[in-house]
């Protein structure tokens, strides 16, 4: 385990993520083992690459934006909900994103009772 820690520290230092081990001494052995596995399989260069890419400005053609039809999810059966979930998952797998902006004004209909 000690050699693993040295390798992990080097990997984390290269990614400027040494702080991940700040509370190492407070972890029990199972937690340490779990953290080691997570760090070993994390590609920090990919995370950094995606972060840098997220800061790039992208051009969107406003003419490609279109309104969605009104859908009341409370009136959908389980098959319909699963259909839309599957569509969303496929969009995410392709690396695409959709943004929906909703207007307020229907407080009692759009919020849960405890909010």
pLDDT, residue 115, reads: 46
| Least-confidence region, from 32-46, 68-82, 96-110 | 96-110
Q: Beta-carbon neighbour count of residue 77 at 10 Å?
A: 8
pLDDT, residue 54, reads: 87
The phi and psi torsions of 87 (rounded to 5 degrees) equal -60, -45
Residue 101 pLDDT > 60 = yes
Among candidate residues 42, 44, 26, 32, the one with its CA nearest the CA of residue 4: 32
Q: How far apart are CA 8 and CA 32, in angstroms?
A: 12
Q: What is the tens place of the pLDDT at every residue in 43-96?
A: 999 999 989 988 888 777 888 777 777 777 788 899 998 998 898 889 889 988
């Amino acid at each position: 385990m000690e050699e693993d820690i040295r390798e992990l520290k080097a990997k984390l230092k290269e990614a400027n993520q040494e702080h991940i081990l700040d509370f190492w001494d407070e972890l029990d052995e199972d937690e340490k083992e779990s953290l080691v596995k997570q760090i070993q399989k994390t590609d920090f260069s990919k995370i950094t690459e995606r972060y840098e890419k997220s800061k790039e400005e992208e051009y969107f053609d406003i003419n490609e934006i279109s309104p969605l039809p009104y859908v009341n999810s409370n009136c959908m059966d389980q098959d319909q909900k699963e259909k839309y979930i599957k569509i969303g998952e496929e969009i995410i797998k392709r690396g695409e994103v959709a943004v929906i902006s909703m207007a307020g004004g229907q407080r009692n209909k759009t919020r849960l009772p405890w909010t």
